[in-house]
Chains A and B, each alone.
Chain A
Amino acid sequence: SAVISQKPSRDICQRGTSLTIQCQVDSQVTMMFWYRQQPGQSLTLIATANQGSEATYESGFVIDKFPISRPNLTFSTLTVSNMSPEDSSIYLCSVGEVSPWYGYTFGSGTRLTVV
């Protein structure tokens, strides 16, 4: 199965600033997703990162706040824009492999604290 490298692993940011999280996969994958895990909560899907086109956002998430890029089949970025303390969460990159069916692999996550 794919191996994911996610950077940074953690960061402390000032409110009003932006942070870009990188997700690098060691093989070409079709499906790539971004999740948020707020403290003590489950994982919530932010968006599907589409290669060469705009990401598909879930209800409650908008492109202006969480712009996503996916220039190729092995790399994606998620930016958390104009941060507030409510954005303090773990952000995870995930890939899905369906041919053959391996399931889903998750990055180790980015622990973001906004002060």
Chain B
Amino acid sequence: AQSVTQLGSHVSVSEGALVLLRCNYSSSVPPYLFWYVQYPNQGLQLLLKYTSAATLVKGINGFEAEFKKSETSFHLTKPSAHMSDAAEYFCAVSDGNTGKLIFGQGTTLQVKP
């Protein structure tokens, strides 16, 4: 079965600093990987997705993620944090057999002025 582990349930950065949110996956087949963001009291928004094309994936709002098969990782980064980036971030992996999307535990990003 597929699974996702997000390291760090809470990450705090200063405005303008690098954002790094960690995600490791477990999969017996080539995975599809996703990052979603959820702002307070709002729905899920897709940031980016990896679907076996380029390993460096660029998403919305300046975020990007790199698929590293050797490390089974798909970490999310942004060079310079903005106050508006404060939200909950979810990494997710798709089961290639059943199509099910499995979510990690989530990481709360706090951005300090």
Give the B-binding residues of A (Cβ under 8 A).
30-31, 33, 41-45, 48, 56, 92, 94, 96, 98, 101, 103-104, 106-109
Flag if B106 contacts A42 (CB, 8 Å): yes
Taking residues whose C-beta sits less than 8 angstroms from the other chain, chain B's interface range is: 10 to 19
Given the known interface contacts A42-B90, A103-B49, A109-B43, the answer about A31 and B104 at a Cβ–Cβ threshold of 8 Å is no
Q: Does B67 contact A (CB under 8 A)?
A: no
Asked if A104 and B34 sit within 8 Å, CB to CB, the answer is: yes
Chain B's nearest CB lies how many Å from the CB of A111?
A: 9
Please give 12 more A-B residue pairs, beta carbons under 8 A apart, in addition to A33-B100, A94-B101, A103-B46.
A31-B99, A41-B105, A41-B106, A42-B103, A45-B100, A45-B102, A48-B100, A101-B51, A103-B32, A103-B34, A103-B49, A104-B101
Q: Tell me which of B43, B51, B105, B106 contacts A106 (CB under 8 A).
A: B43
